[in-house]
Structures are given as structure tokens and as C-alpha cells.
Amino acid sequence: MPLGDWLSLLFSPESKNLLFVDYMFPSDTICDAYLESISTRSEEDVKRLLRKFLIPSCTLGTDKLTASQLVRYAGEDSDISSKVKSWEFFRRLAIYMLSKGEGAVQPWEGITWILDLLPGQPRYAINTLYAYIQAHAQFLPDGRLSGLSDAIAVIRAKYILSVPSEDAFSKFSPREFEHIVEALYHSMDYQTELTKESHDGGRDIVVEQTELGKRERALIECKHWSRPVGVDRIRSLLGAVMDEKASRGVIVTSSRFTKPAEKFTHENKSLELIDGNQ
């Protein structure tokens, strides 16, 4: 089934009377086609699809079987029994089964609320989904696991990867751009130091990794420019790296680099270039 036909079926009134895959992409081909076209799709349409992939507060078809297995484990005299009894999911599932579905407690607490994090905080939304999967992977049906993974791919494609760099950084000042780069390295477990705005000695940020086996010290130069960064800036950073005996130097720009700058960096392995698209 082509992507367009599947989407039409997914949101048609007749879909309630049909049995088909509506909680995940039914094939890799359809998934790839959707992600490739996602920049042309409105936020409203993307969120409509995400609501299909995300789990609402509900009961799933495998819950009865899961409940019987967990009750058996809980009745054993073992460490597994204590662990099962401590699970919040087991508590909700037991209440639901004992009430025969008539109680207010649903086994699955919905995750659809992450849509309120979009478009502003897509990484929080993705990290929340990873945590939800981590907590429930052993109880979720395979199709629902795939659906949550597809939701992560859709969020990443729509709200992170498809944003042009010139739009993503246009509202920031050069100093704010430096803060963004520092935050990026901090999120990768580096110790970071932002230098003073003037007289920075050819680097804006100094980052260090002190973990045994990963020790390094890198000098980061930030260029929030609209024009390409030339080779002279690259040579200047290389001089600072050599003077301070740093492990490497990195130039991060919101624009791009000239061909001579890329060629010079290719010949000097202690340098790294990161442009706006990257």
C-alpha cells in the first residue's frame, strides 16, 4: 500500500470498521517515504499521526496474559516475587483486573501528553519516550514498541532535523550562540569553560574530558556568521591548539566553511569543523 493510501485509510471514518495496522508504520518503505516528505507536512497533520502512535490511558490486548504471568510470579517465594510486587505497573494491572475493567484505574498511563512539548521542546519529548520504553518494554506488545520508536523518528525528523540552520540560529546573538555550543558539549559530559567576550585568545570555549581512557582538552571557536568561515580562522585556531598543547581544536559556525578551509582541516587531523547544518 502506498503512503498516501495508508494515510487516507488511517484518518477515514471507515477505518473504525477495518482491521489494519494503525499504531505504527506498517512497513519500512512507508516510514521512509513519510520521513522524507515531513518538511511539507503541517504540524497539525504530524501531531494527528503521533496521536495514533502514542499510547493513551487504556488497556492493551496482551494485558490479560501479562496479568496471569505476573500473578504467578508474585505468588512465588523468591526475589522475583518481591520485584514483581514492587512494580507500579503490576499494581495498576491488578486493580484493573480485580475490578473487571469497571474501575477508574487503567493499566497503561497515557504518554500522549508529550505533544504539549512540541514544537518547543522536541528533545524532552524524545527523552520522555525513551524513559517510557525503558520502564515498560517487557510488558509492551512488539507493535506498540515499534509505534513508539516510529514516534521518536517522526519527532526528530519534523522538529529537529528539518529546521534550516539559518532559521534555527537567526534570532540568537553571537554570545548566545556560544552558550548554545557550550551547552551541547556539557550535554556530552564535558567540563566546559566559557571565556570572556573579548581577548579570548582564539577560542571561545575550553572543554575537558577527565574520565580515565577518554582524557582530552579541546579549544572551541564559535563563528555566528552569515558568510563562510575562511582558512585564516582555521590556521589561527591551529596555532592556539599547538601553543596550549590541546588535544584538538573545533570551529563551530552557523554558516559554512570555504573549500580552502575544509582542505586545510583535512590535512590537519587535530582540527574539526562543524557547520550550521551539522
pLDDT digits (tens, 9 = 90+) for 230-270: 999 999 999 999 999 999 999 999 999 999 999 999 999 99
Residues 140, 13: one domain?
Answer: yes
Beta bridge partners of 209: 216
CATH number, residue 189 = 3.40.1350.10
Shared domain check, 152 and 29: yes
The number of folded domains in the chain is 2
| Percent above pLDDT 90 for the chain | 68
Q: Are 26 and 6 in contact (CB under 8 A)?
A: yes
pLDDT of residue 33: 96
* Domain extent at residue 42: 3-161
Greater pLDDT, 153 or 92: 153
The answer on 148 and 123 residing in a single domain is yes
Q: Are residues 185 and 79 part of one domain? A: no
Between these two residues, 269 and 168, which has the higher pLDDT value? 269
Among 143, 161, 179, which residue terminates a domain? Answer: 161
Whether 87 and 179 map to the same domain: the answer is no
Residues 139 and 213 in one domain: no
Mean pLDDT of 15-37: 93
User: What DSSP string runs through the chain?
Assistant: --HHHHHHHHTSGGGGGS----SS-SSHHHHHHHHHTGGGS-HHHHHHHHHHHS--SB--TTHHHHHHHHHHHHTSSSHHHHHHHH-HHHHHHHHHHHTTT-SS--SB---GGGGGGTTT-HHHHHHHHHHHHHHHTTTS-HHHHHHHHHHHHHHHIIIIITS-HHHHHTTS-HHHHHHHHHHHHHHTT-EEEEPPSS--TT-SEEEEE-STT--EEEEEEEE--SSPB-HHHHHHHHHHHHHHT-SEEEEEESS-B-HHHHHHHHT-TTEEEE-S--
Mean predicted lDDT score pLDDT of the chain = 90
Each residue of 174-232: pLDDT tens digit? 999 999 999 999 999 999 999 987 655 568 999 999 888 889 999 999 999 989 999 99
Mean pLDDT of 266-276: 93
The cell numbers describing 48, all together, are: 494527528
Sheet with 216-223: strands ordered across: 191-194, 205-209, 216-223, 248-253, 271-274
- Give Dmax (Cα) for the chain: 73
Average the pLDDT over 30-52 and give the result.
Answer: 95
Residues in the chain: 278
If we measure between CA atoms, which residue out of 242, 248, 243 comes closest to residue 265?
A: 248
Among 161, 177, 194, identify where a domain stops: 161
> So what's the pLDDT on residue 201?
59
Query: Do residues 21 and 153 both lie within one domain?
Result: yes
Measured at the CA of 42, the angle between CA 41 and CA 47, to 5 degrees, comes to: 100
Do residue 117 and residue 181 come from a single domain? no
> CB-based contacts of 118: which residues, under 8 Å, 6+ apart?
43, 47, 125, 155, 159
91, amino acid identity: R
Shared domain for 139 and 84, answered yes or no, is yes
pLDDT confidence of residue 1: 86
Provide the whole-model pTM. Answer: 0.64
Mean pLDDT along residues 55-73: 88
Residue 13 CB: number of other CB atoms within 10 A?
Answer: 6
Residue 81 corresponds to which cell in the numbers above? 516475587
Is residue 200 located within the same domain as residue 104? Answer: no
> pLDDT digit string (tens) for 114-129?
999 999 899 999 999 9
Give the pLDDT of residue 212.
87
73 and 202 share a domain?
no
Asked if residues 205 and 175 have their Cβ atoms less than 8 Å apart, the reply is: no
